[in-house]
Every structure is written in C-alpha cells, then in structure tokens.
Chains A and B, each alone.
Chain A
Amino acid sequence: MAAIPIITPVESENTRTLRHVFSMILREPLSLLSTAVIMLFILMAVFAYQMAPFPEEGAGKTHASNTLLSPSAEHWLGTDKLGRDILSRIIVGARPALIIPIGVVLFAVLIGAPLGALAGYKGGWLDEVIMRITDLFLAFPSLLLAMAIASALGRGLDKAAIALIVSWWPWYTRIARGVAVGLRERYFVEAAQASGVSDAIIIFRHILPNTLSPILVQATVDMGTVILAMGGLAFLGLGTQPPSPDWGLMVSEGRGFILDQWWIATFPGIAIFVVVLAFNLVGDTLRDIFDPRQYK
C-alpha cells in the first residue's frame, strides 16, 4: 500500500558542504594544527593511565617526600603541595576536563535537535510551546544557570555534567528548528507525507539528517565554551571532587601558591587554554565556511 517515498533525503548543498567543510579544515594550516592538538589531547585522555609517568599520583595518591618540587627531569611540570606529579595529574585530569564536555555537547545535541526538528516540522501550538520554553532557558546566563542546578543537585562531576546539559540544549533546538521550518515545504518532505510516512519517520529520516551540518558547526564552536564552563565549575568546587584531578580544580588548588610555586596552577591553566584555543580555531574556520546563524 504505502508507496516507496521518493528519497532525496539530503539536499545536495548540504552533503557538498559537509565534505567541503572537512577539506577546507584540512587545507587551512591553523585549523589543521588545531585538529591535531585536539586529537592528541583526546588520545591522552583515553590512554591516560598508560601515558602518565606516575599514574597513581595522577589519580590522587599523595607522596609526602616530594611536595612542591619545581619542574625537573623527573617531574617535568613539578609537583603539588601533596607531592603529586603535575604532568600525571594533567593527563588523568583530561578525562573530566575534556571528555566529559564532549559528552555534554553530545547529549545537549541529542536532546535539543529532535525537539527543534519536531517544533519546526509540526509548527502550530507545539512549536510555540517548545520554543517559548527554549527561550526561557536562553534568558539565563548559561553558566549561572549551570551553577544553580549543580548546587541544587549537590557536588560532583556527574551533577556538573547534567547541569551543563540542561543549560546547553536550547541552542541546538533553535538551530534544528530553523532548518526544519525551511524544509517543511520542500518536495521531498511533502512527497513523504503524501505517501503516508509517519511524522516520526519524516522527522528522524528526512528532517534531522539535514540539521546535521549546521549543528555540527555549532557544536564545534560550543566545545570551547563548554570546556571553559566545566573548568569554571571545577574551579568553584562544583565539579570533580578531590583527590581526583581536573584542570579547573588544579588551578584552584594552585592558586594559594601562585607567587612562589607558580607551576602548580600555571600548567593546568595552559592545558585548558590550549584545548579551548584549538577548538575555537577549528570552530572559527567552520563558521567562516558555513555560517549556522543563517538558520536562526
């Protein structure tokens, strides 16, 4: 009965752009370098315990005879007030500081994009309700909202991550909705409707795939901000709890020593800066090629 829908699911401009985008990133030296830096840090986070020179200290084990050593051949980046190797702690700390924000953005996209696609495709009151709620969340400064939620849930990395997801999903709802509104009247969507394909399938098969590239661009641009926010929450003691390492928390722990043992806070701070800079440079190139604002 149901005729096979005419499938031209992905508009040619989008596939071309997506492939085009990757080739452009690889051609631009700064973004190529940034991509390499990001990959390196991700590998470091994944193989943290294999790579860290002192994996146990990285996880939190103290070493009383080694406190506050300055950088040396044995401890490249020095040790902290509990005698732990800073390099090892930065490597292990990449997990909460880098991998968790990637997860946060991923979940925010998974929540935000389908909602936006639904709002844009269905229109009417559903659109109004979803978008007004989205606007309300956007009316808060994101980090302030995340701080409030994190403190309502209690301290901990998992709670900080949930708080950030709750603060970030609306951005993707907005973008996905913008794309969906534009697609609603395209032939391939109307054809699918006419052949009796259910709304759920249209949204997931025909609308969502087309929101992919603008959302990918926005997600890359957001990665830097989310890493900064995560670092900020950790710095304020709302994220990772000691003795576990986290870059933001390490900066906070080293703050009191900044005038004499500068290395304790400086190196984890540099780690945050370098990763965020790398994400922002890639994001900036992406935005130049493919401006997601045109869908808002």
Chain B
Amino acid sequence: MQKLEFFLRRIATSILVLIGVSVITFFIARVVPANPAALYIGPKARQEDINRVTKQLGLDKPLPVQYLVYMQELLHGDLGTSISTKRPITEELTGRIPATLELLFSGMFIAILLGVPLGVLSARAQGEPLDVAVRILSIAGVSMPAFFLGLILQIIFFRNLHLLPLAGRVDSNLRFTNPLTEITNFILFDSFVTSNWVTFKDAFLHLLLPSLTLAAYPLGLIARMTRAAMLETLEQDYIRTAQAYGINQTIIIYLYALKNAISPTLTVIGLTVAFALTGTFFVEIIFNWPGLGLFTVRSLLNVDYPAIMGMTLFGSMGYVLINLIVDLLQAWVDPRISLK
C-alpha cells in the first residue's frame, strides 16, 4: 500500500515538473530572444515573414495566452517545423531515437559492467595501490572531454591499428550486399532477429568506439560511487556478523554487501544518464552517428531555432522520465525508500 502511494505521489510530482520544464523552455524560446519571430524563420527573415510568424505563433498576444497555445500544440505532439529540413521536428526527433538509444544503452552497459566491479575491487583494496589506480582511472574518466576522447580513439584504433571503423553506424555498402529489414531501427536488434550476421558484426564494430567514448564519464562516477557505498556497507553489523561466522569474503561482498550498496549506485546511474545524454551530442558529432545529438548539433550550427527548442524540451522530458524510472526502480529494490 505504502509502495503504491509512493509510486503515485512520485508520478504526480513528475507531471508537475514536466509542466514546469515546459514553462522554462517556453521562456527561453519566446521571451529571452530579442526577436523570436526572426529566429523562428532563420537568417534571411523578411518583414512579411516576420509578421506572418508573429501571427502564427501568437507572438502579438499576451504571454499567458501564448503559453496556452504553445501547450496545446505540445500536447498534440507538435514541436513546430525545422527550418533546415522543412519537416516536422517531432518526426525528425522520433526517427532518430533508436540510434541514440542504441548508443546510450551500450555506453551505460559498458559503464555499469566495468564500473561496478571496479568500485567493489577498489573498496576491497582500500588504501592499496589497486585502490589508488582505480581512483585515478575513474577521475581521469570524468575529466576527459568526450569530443577529445573520441578523436584519440579514432587515431589509435582507426589510423594506427586499422582495427575499427572511423565513423558511422554501419558500412553503407551493406545496404546493397546485405540489406537489413528494418523492424525497430535498432540495427543490432534488427540484424540479430533477422539473422543478418554480416550486418550484425559490422554494426557491432561500428558501435564499439562511440560507446567506449560515451562510457568514460559514467564509468568513472559509477566506480567512485560503488566504492563509497561498499565501504559504508562493509562497516555494518550484519557484515561483521557474517564475517564472524566465517563466511567466505567473496560471498559476503557480492551476495550480502553489494545488494545494499546498489541503491546509491542506482541514483548515480540515473544522474549519469543525463550526462550521457548530453555526452551523446559530442560522441555523435565525432563519430557521425545519425541520432538526436547529431541533429541537435547541426541545428545549432544552422541556427535552426525551432529544432533547438524542440530538442531542449524533448531531452529534458526524457531526463525527467529517466529519473522517475530510476526512483521507482530504487523504491522497488529498497523498500526503505517508499517509507520516507
């Protein structure tokens, strides 16, 4: 019962936050710029276009009315039209979600897969050289600009070692030799279920460098957080009791301690998804990865204002949702949370 109440309350808060986020985005889009209509048209705005857009966006009306019109369009999933592609922004964005999610998931997967064990190892070896090494490695991970790490990896693995492809999601020639049946637009998934192994392998190799680049930051944070949480848990009485009973240390750490240390780690994972989300912008531009980030960066370069504002709203809503999911997941893993 308490759990259900917590879930409902948390969802209600998220809806309020989403409304607040839309208000702030509205402000940035319509109130901050000196001449929003001109921005919505693009660099070569003529006076008659400005008048037309002013009418269309309702810029001549009072702000609360403007906001209501904006919200109405938003609730219909309408984010406006991109200046550079002339297509609806919602369409542009949704079509690119799979590419970005593929990158985001594989990056977070690497970060968790390496970060959690590194944190545990570091906690076990507290104060020893291994601990210091993990500390420096994880701090280096969060200090590395993604746009620089990507370039370094390209130099090493493409230019020097000739091991991995330079950029892109999949080799464009494969479209003719091994055409892929698009089901979900997650290339790895689609090629896997249709047994298109040539494409699967190629997509996998293309995914390696971008996801490694993206993983660096979350990996560092997750390793640090896991270490801290583990150290705290290992000091607790039930662990000492288990040790007194002579239970194998490995079992204690991985079976007893990690379970309780995972909750703060989940919080950090939720937080790092935000960094990873903006991280994909840089990774996608370096690796020419056709996702949301590449679209956003191109919009920034072309001063495609409606697209930038659409992405701001879209990205922030995605972030609010991710945080909601993490919180609910946490409450599910750790019942103490829903009692607070």
Binding site for B on A (CB under 8 A): 30, 132, 135-137, 139-145, 147-149, 151-153, 224, 228, 231-232, 235-238, 248, 251-252, 255, 258-259, 262, 265-266, 269-270, 272-273, 276-277, 279-281, 284
A236 touches B21 (CB 8 A): no
B319 touches A152 (CB 8 A): no
Chain B interface residue number, banded:
35 or more
By a CB distance below 8 angstroms, the chain A residues around B39 are 152
Identify the interface centre among B33, B301, B309, B312: most chain A CB within 10 Å of its CB: B312
B142 touches A141 (CB 8 A): no
| Shortest beta-carbon distance from B136 to chain A in Å | 8
B17 touches A136 (CB 8 A): yes
Bound complex: CA A285 to CA B139 (Å): 11
Task: Say yes or no for B147: interface residue by CB 8 A criterion.
Answer: yes
B139 touches A280 (CB 8 A): yes
B145 touches A140 (CB 8 A): no
Given contacts A151-B303, A266-B151, contact A232 B308 (CB under 8 A): no
A255 touches B143 (CB 8 A): no
Given contacts A147-B308, A251-B147, contact A152 B152 (CB under 8 A): no
Bound complex: CA A132 to CA B17 (Å): 9
By a CB distance below 8 angstroms, the chain B residues around A248 are 145, 147
B143 touches A147 (CB 8 A): no
Binding site for A on B (CB under 8 A): 17, 20-21, 23-25, 28-29, 32-33, 39, 135-136, 139-140, 142-145, 147-148, 151-152, 154-155, 158-159, 224, 274-275, 277-278, 281-282, 286, 296-297, 300-301, 303, 305, 308-309, 311-312, 315-316, 319-320, 323
B312 touches A136 (CB 8 A): no
Given contacts A237-B300, A237-B301, A258-B155, contact A140 B143 (CB under 8 A): no
By a CB distance below 8 angstroms, the chain B residues around A252 are 147
Given contacts A139-B316, A140-B24, A258-B151, contact A277 B278 (CB under 8 A): no
Given contacts A135-B17, A139-B20, A238-B300, contact A276 B143 (CB under 8 A): yes
By a CB distance below 8 angstroms, the chain B residues around A143 are 275, 278, 281
By a CB distance below 8 angstroms, the chain A residues around B158 are 259
| Shortest beta-carbon distance from B322 to chain A in Å | 10
Bound complex: CA A224 to CA B142 (Å): 9
By a CB distance below 8 angstroms, the chain B residues around A149 are 28, 32
Bound complex: CA A228 to CA B148 (Å): 11
| Shortest beta-carbon distance from A8 to chain B in Å | 33
Bound complex: CA A141 to CA B282 (Å): 15
By a CB distance below 8 angstroms, the chain A residues around B152 are 266, 269
- With both beta carbons as reference points, the residue of chain A lying nearest to B147 in the complex is identified as A235
| Shortest beta-carbon distance from A261 to chain B in Å | 11
Bound complex: CA A251 to CA B25 (Å): 30
By a CB distance below 8 angstroms, the chain A residues around B155 are 258-259, 262, 266
- With both beta carbons as reference points, the residue of chain A lying nearest to B271 in the complex is identified as A141
By a CB distance below 8 angstroms, the chain A residues around B278 are 141-144, 147, 232
A280 touches B145 (CB 8 A): no
Bound complex: CA A235 to CA B286 (Å): 11
- With both beta carbons as reference points, the residue of chain B lying nearest to A34 in the complex is identified as B139
By a CB distance below 8 angstroms, the chain A residues around B303 are 151
Bound complex: CA A280 to CA B17 (Å): 31
Bound complex: CA A289 to CA B147 (Å): 32
B159 touches A141 (CB 8 A): no
A228 touches B145 (CB 8 A): yes
Bound complex: CA A238 to CA B278 (Å): 15
Give 5 A-B pairs besides A140-B316, A141-B319 with Cβ atoms closer than 8 angstroms.
Answer: A144-B312, A152-B32, A259-B159, A262-B155, A280-B143
